[in-house]
Amino acid sequence: VEWTPEKGWHDARITPYGPITLDPATAVLHYAQETFEGMKAYRHEDGSVWTFRPEANAARMAKSSRRLALPELPIEDFVQAVDALVQADERWVPGSEGEKSLYIRPFMFASEKFLGVRPSQHVTFMVIASPAGSYFKGGLKPVTLWLTTEYTRAGKGGMGDAKTGGNYASSLVAQQEAYAQGCDQVVFLDAQEGTYVEELGGMNLYFVFKDGRVVTPATSGTILEGITRASIIELAKGLGHTVEERKFSIDEWRDGVASGDIVEIFACGTAAVVTPVGTLKEAGRETAAPTAETGELTARIREALVDIQFGRAEDTHHWMHKVL
C-alpha cells in the first residue's frame, strides 16, 4: 500500500514475495524514518486460522507512526492487510503441533527519494510473513541476561515507546556485549537515573513476589508497550494476583532475589511468549535466578496464553481474530 499527501493510502495489492528496488536516495535508507510490528497467526486444531489482538498491533503502529512523522494507517486497513496476506497463502500457517505459528511483519517506511531532512511525502506499507518454529527448541530454557550500564535504550522525549528500527540499531552494540558475556539478552536501565529496570532488547519483564504480587516496569514513554505484557496483566489478575505497574529498581531486583521475596522472574513478547529469566550478569557481580526451574506462575501464565492462542481454551477476553 502506498501513501502520498494528495492520494492518501492507495494501491493496495498482493504480489509474489521477492526483492524490491529502491533508489539510493530513498529517505528511509538515510534517516531511518520507519516503523514496524511483529505478530503471529495460529492454526487451531479444526484448521481455522487466527491472529492475536491485531487491533492492538495496529494501534501501536499508529502511535509509532505519529512519533516518526509518518501517516497513520487506519486500524481496519492494517487488520485487513494482514488478513489478506494470510488468506492469500495460508499453506504457510503451520499446524499447531509444537506451538508452531506464522510470524507476521507489517512495516512502513519513507519511500520518497530526496536528501534533505524532512518527513517523506511518499510512504510505503508492506506486510511479509515467515513460518516460526517453537522459539526454544527442546523446551523452555531460561534466558540469561547482561545488565548494560553504558548504553540505554531510550530517554525522556525520545522514541522508546515506538517500534522503530532506530531503537533496535542503537541496542545492537549492547546486545553484542551481552553475547560476548555469554548472555542471551541485554537488560536496559532508564537513561535519566540509571537505576530503574526498563526492558530487554526484545521483551518486557515481570517479577513475582512471595506474597503473590506481580510487578512489571511501568510504561512511561521509554519502553515498548508489549501486547504480551498487557495481556499478562489481565491473565494474572484473572488468576487472583495483584499487578503493580511501577518503577522497579535494579536494587529491588538484586535484594528481592537475595532475601527470597522475589520467587519468579520472567520475560515476555510475541516471539518467545513467556520465558523464565535465568542469571543476571553485570560487571563484577551476578544475581542468580530465584528458581532453578520454570516458576509455577510463569508456567501457568504461559500455558493460559498459549492455550488461548491455539484455541485450546475459551477466549474470554475476545483477543482472537478469525482470519480463515
Question: Where do contacts with ligand PMP occur on this chain (CB under 6 A)?
Answer: 38, 199, 202-204, 224, 226-229, 269-270
Output DSSP code: residue 74.
P
CB closer to ligand PMP, 201 vs 278: 201
Closer CB to ligand PMP, residue 261 or residue 315? 315
Please state the closest distance from residue 149 (CB atom) to ligand PMP, in A: 18
Residue number with CB closer to ligand PMP (263 or 274):
274
- Contact call for residues 121 and 5 (beta carbons, < 8 A): yes
Shortest Cβ 57–ligand PMP spacing (Å): 7
CB of 281 to ligand PMP, least distance (A): 20
The CB-of-133 to ligand PMP minimum distance in angstroms stands at 17
- Is the Cβ of residue 26 or residue 106 nearer to ligand PMP in the bound state? 106
- C-alpha cell, 45: 486444531
- The DSSP call for residue 292 is S
Nearer to ligand PMP, 22 or 75 (CB): 75
Q: For the chain, how big is the Rg over CA atoms in Å?
A: 20
CB of 55 to ligand PMP, least distance (A): 13
Q: How far is the CB of 269 from ligand PMP (least distance, A)?
A: 3
Closer to ligand PMP by Cβ: residue 27 or 102? 102
85 three-class SS = helix
CB nearer to ligand PMP: pick between 142 and 226: 226
210: nearest Cα among 305, 273, 296: 296
Contact 162, 62 (CB under 8 A): no
- CB of residue 174 vs ligand PMP: minimum separation in angstroms? 12
Q: What single letter denotes the amino acid at residue 96?
A: S
Instruction: Output the nine-digit C-alpha cell for 309.
Output: 492462542
Q: What are the DSSP calls for 124-191, one per residue? A: EEEEEEEEE--SSTTS--PEEEEE-SS--S--TTSSTTS--HHHHHHHHHHHHHHHHTT-SEEEEEPT
Strand, helix or coil at 197?
strand
Q: Tell me the closest approach of the beta carbon of residue 235 to ligand PMP, in angstroms.
A: 13
> Are 227 and 233 spatial neighbours (Cβ–Cβ below 8 Å)?
no
Which residue's entry shows cell 531460561? 142
Nearer to ligand PMP, 204 or 309 (CB): 204
- The nearest distance, CB 211 to ligand PMP, in angstroms, is 26
Nearer to ligand PMP, 3 or 125 (CB): 125
Find the residue with minimal CB distance to ligand PMP. Answer: 226
Alpha helices in the chain (DSSP H): 27-31, 54-67, 75-88, 165-180, 227-238, 250-259, 296-309
Residue of 323, 324, 320 lying closest to 52 (CA atoms):
320
